[in-house]
Structure 1
Amino acid sequence: MVQTPPLAIQLASMRLPEAIESSSLSIKFSKVKLTEREDNYNNNLLLYPDEAEEILVTVENTSSIHLRCSIDVGGDYPAKWLKSKHNNLNFDISPNQKKDKLIQFKVDSDFFENQDALSDKAKLQLNYKVQIQLYSRKLWFNNIPIKLWFLLLNRDARASILFIRSFQERQIKSRLIEYQFFNLLVRPRTSYLDFLPSIFGENDGGRRLVSIFEQAFDPVVQTTDVLWAYFDPLTAPEAFLPFLAKWVGWEIDKRWTVGQQRRLIRNAVTLYRWHGTKHGLRLYLHYYTDLPLDEDLEEESEKHISIQENFNDGFVVGEANVNKNPMLGGGKPYHFTVRLRTDTSNQLDEELVREIIERYKPAFSTYELSIDSVHY
């Protein structure tokens, strides 16, 4: 006599495959084969990269006793794909009661692009087998005679119940009640099928063939849609910056950050136009240091990037006044002072600042550099 299991388990996929497996096309269309084919189809969970999908596990207690159950999930899939916590798969179930548990899986976003996906394998595995095992054991209060005996023997009912529970849990071990299998099918998303005859999407092999062409050509289409961004230094990929720099004849210094390189390359033509002028030097220092230009301030000494000329006409007979420019010689000719006012969080490379000034000042002029830290 075959004993009926006290628990029944049923699986339901939350996302069924959109096409039939190619291997199943060879099954003969008899009534038995069609039923088997339908069951196999329903036991598949379709997974797209970086999208979480779930399979519903329904457990029914057909016995007359309370049971403590646990669901164990195993298979040949990577362990990190399973997102359901182990605590959520342990539960108690009353007689003639049903309980639903969701088991969630999520494939890595770079599953198809990962260079290590193939490694030493001949081909990339797309189908994975998952086994759902259901374990159960009786709860301690099912054994009524033992519970009553301890309650009568001990005056402390609470201590008796705690002792009974620990005793029964040690004595009654979990046992495997039932298990079922289902498949994880990892597939890439494809939009090309929306523009093709439906016959291409009727079987899994055809869909995968179309997805090969889509993954090969789609990056090109996406690139052409945003081609303008490749020619703007602020949005171009970092690897594309050397090409843009050569395009405008700009020399990249490895001491610059990527953000500084983008700003300087984008404004290279403007800097060429103002080369050798006070405005051009201020712009260059602004793009490098990210200090404000302070164009609204009239006093040069109050600006974060201050460039002051220290020479004048000096003492000229008939033109000089007692309280104005009375200096003989007028000071050092073609000499100026660069003063940078920065906070302590913005550390500047003094050597690089001097190279910038040497590159953009008139060849015959001299200068002094002062970098002051301002605490706000």
Structure 2
Amino acid sequence: MKRTDIERLLPEVFQRAIEGGSPLLTLLEVMEALPAPDEAVLDQLDAFFDPYRAPDAFVPFLASWVDLERFLQGVPATSATQAAPSWPSGMGRLRELIAAVPFLAQWRGTAKGLLRFLETATGVQGFTIEEQVPGSDGLPRPFHLRVRAPHEAAPYRAMIEQIIESEKPAYVTYELEMVENPEGRPPSS
């Protein structure tokens, strides 16, 4: 609220006492300045709810709203002076993952959803999921998956395992393989 707007709210006797250098003028200027930071935040409130425009410190909070905080490393920040919890593949990947949550929720428990989750979380393309994994007798093992991850995703192995554990159906077992060429494509040069 501007100083002139505040002045109009004062009784007339106070309005006449406002002069340059008076304590009342100083008080009105302070009253104008105090809510300015809050008003600036309120003017751009919609940015806080957009994972691409939210301040970095707010993104982990957004992640908690969409049930992704279980994947954040470390203890959540409790004050503005502490660093926000880190996402293994970077803040940009976490922003992408938050934006992908509607799709991921719709496809949770499916190979399609798990692939999208892994590729979005790591930023690495080329994951494959085998659902008909042969056992030692040559027959498909029931309720078992083989997830093949590109070698480039190796630094994120712990996160990948955590995602698979969390996103696969509870009754399904899995094995994770880090492979040089998961889809059988010729290596790119």
Aligned to 1:253: 71
Whether the aligned pair in 2 keeps the contact of 1:307 and 1:339 (CA below 8 Å) is yes
**In the alignment, is residue 220 of structure 1 matched against residue 38 of structure 2?**
yes
Give 1:226 shift.
0.8
Q: Work out which of the residue numbers 120, 144, 168 in structure 2 matches 1:335.
A: 144
**Secondary structure at 2:54's aligned position in 1?**
coil
Give 1:353 shift.
0.9
Whether the aligned pair in 1 keeps the contact of 2:71 and 2:162 (CA below 8 Å) is no
- 1:320-352 deviation digits (Å, cap 9, x = unpaired): xxxxxxxx8633334332222254xx6522122
Aligned to 1:268: 101
Give 1:216 shift.
0.9
Aligned to 1:359: 166
Alpha-carbon distance between aligned partners in 2 of 1:193 and 1:348, rounded to the nearest angstrom: 56
Give 1:207 shift.
6.9
Aligned to 1:310: 132
Q: TM-score, with normalisation over the residues of structure 1?
A: 0.34
Structure 1 counterpart of 2:159, one-letter code: L
Q: TM-score, with normalisation over the residues of structure 2?
A: 0.62
Identity of aligned residues (%): 32
Greater strand content = 1
Whether the aligned pair in 1 keeps the contact of 2:3 and 2:32 (CA below 8 Å) is no
Alpha-carbon distance between aligned partners in 2 of 1:352 and 1:221, rounded to the nearest angstrom: 39
Unmatched 5+ stretches in structure 2 = 9-15, 74-86, 181-186
Give 1:223 shift.
1.4
Alpha-carbon distance between aligned partners in 2 of 1:235 and 1:364, rounded to the nearest angstrom: 38
The two structures, once aligned, show a CA RMSD in angstroms of: 3.6
Alpha-carbon distance between aligned partners in 2 of 1:347 and 1:202, rounded to the nearest angstrom: 70
Greater helix content = 2
Alpha-carbon distance between aligned partners in 1 of 2:42 and 2:154, rounded to the nearest angstrom: 40
**In the alignment, is residue 287 of structure 1 matched against residue 109 of structure 2?**
no
Aligned to 2:183: none
Alpha-carbon distance between aligned partners in 1 of 2:104 and 2:17, rounded to the nearest angstrom: 57
Larger Rg: 1
- 1:133-184 deviation digits (Å, cap 9, x = unpaired): xxxxxxxxxxxxxxxxxxxxxxxxxxxxxxxxxxxxxxxxxxxxxxxxxxxx
**Secondary structure at 1:240's aligned position in 2?**
helix
Question: Structure 1 residues 311, 375: closer, same or farther in 2, change over 3 A?
Answer: closer
Question: Structure 1 residues 311, 246: closer, same or farther in 2, change over 3 A?
Answer: closer
Whether the aligned pair in 1 keeps the contact of 2:66 and 2:98 (CA below 8 Å) is yes
Question: Structure 1 residues 290, 215: closer, same or farther in 2, change over 3 A?
Answer: same
Aligned to 1:129: none
Whether the aligned pair in 2 keeps the contact of 1:245 and 1:252 (CA below 8 Å) is no
Whether the aligned pair in 2 keeps the contact of 1:291 and 1:342 (CA below 8 Å) is no
Give 1:193 shift.
6.6
**Secondary structure at 1:348's aligned position in 2?**
helix
Matches within 5 A, 1:185-224: 192=2, 203=20, 209-224=27-42
Aligned to 1:349: 156
Whether the aligned pair in 2 keeps the contact of 1:193 and 1:200 (CA below 8 Å) is no
Unmatched 5+ stretches in structure 1 = 1-190, 293-303, 313-327
Alpha-carbon distance between aligned partners in 2 of 1:217 and 1:370, rounded to the nearest angstrom: 55
Alpha-carbon distance between aligned partners in 2 of 1:286 and 1:200, rounded to the nearest angstrom: 67
- 1:8-33 deviation digits (Å, cap 9, x = unpaired): xxxxxxxxxxxxxxxxxxxxxxxxxx
- 1:273-294 deviation digits (Å, cap 9, x = unpaired): 21110011011102211124xx
Structure 2 counterpart of 1:332, one-letter code: R
Whether the aligned pair in 2 keeps the contact of 1:193 and 1:201 (CA below 8 Å) is no
Whether the aligned pair in 2 keeps the contact of 1:248 and 1:269 (CA below 8 Å) is no
Aligned residues: 157
